[in-house]
Structure 1
Amino acid sequence: MVRLGRYDPSARQSITDWLVKVQSVCWLRGINDVTTVIALWHTAGAFAVCMQLTTEDQKDNVKVKKALTAAFLVDSFSAYEQFVSRKLRADQPPDMFLAKLRRLAAFFSGVPERTMACRFVARLLGNVRQFLRAGSRTEELSLSQIITCCCDS
């Protein structure tokens, strides 16, 4: 089941990911008018963007998505900032954390796999990072092996 929360640009939530979730929820529920769902589930910043559209455009799914994406799409500079500052949350699976890092890196042409592995390990929770470094030769592990070790811990 897809859980749809409110879109909050101040939480650095991806507008693209949120719109995909909206689309999925609508499809699962058999809702054809996606714009009515979008209108119910955004916060002040996104609401202000939608209110700048004409009444006719507010009813057009493509125009609403285009306006929201243009207003809140992450650029390469903010993506890099998020990439270097993001840490694994206690309630977040390591593979989801890595997926988010990869998505952010794609905004600035990506990074080599080894750089991604170093970034990933550096931003793990302290106890997981210590477990990884103590239990294996992290230098010799591929990123997929590091993920497996994290999931096993």
Structure 2
Amino acid sequence: MATWWTALQLLAPAFWLGAVVAISFLEAPLKFRAPGITVPLGLGIGRLVFRALNILEAVVLVVLWIAALAAPAAPATAMWWLLGIVTVVLVVQVAGVRPVLTKRSDRVLEAGTDLPRSNAHYVYVALELVKVIALVALLAVTADALL
């Protein structure tokens, strides 16, 4: 049973990191460069994709907490801190920043025109960078402690 929890502690943050990098740093900026993609269409796609990403992130986060709590050996203190960081970042993104971005995209969709980029976009990207760094550190700490 110990290997199952070890595998989850290593694979879950790696999977999460891959999803964030693929969506936030590849798909999101590239979708508006695709031929025929209008701002309203891109916003609609972005809403769906980021909603799905955030749900996936929440599920992976719960799995990580369960794996850390159920592991036979106590995880390193740094692992708890990093789990706390990614938890806080995700909560702030979902509960604090995404509603602001949703209101902005509603205004864009109603007006039928693009608006200047809001500061909320920059906050969201900054939080994504913090999350990526924390997930990489979590992987390193976990691998060091478990392998």
**TM-score class, shorter:** 0.3 to 0.5
Structure having the larger proportion of residues in helix: 2
Higher RCO by CA contacts (8 Å cutoff, separation 6 or greater): 2
TM-score by length of 1: 0.34
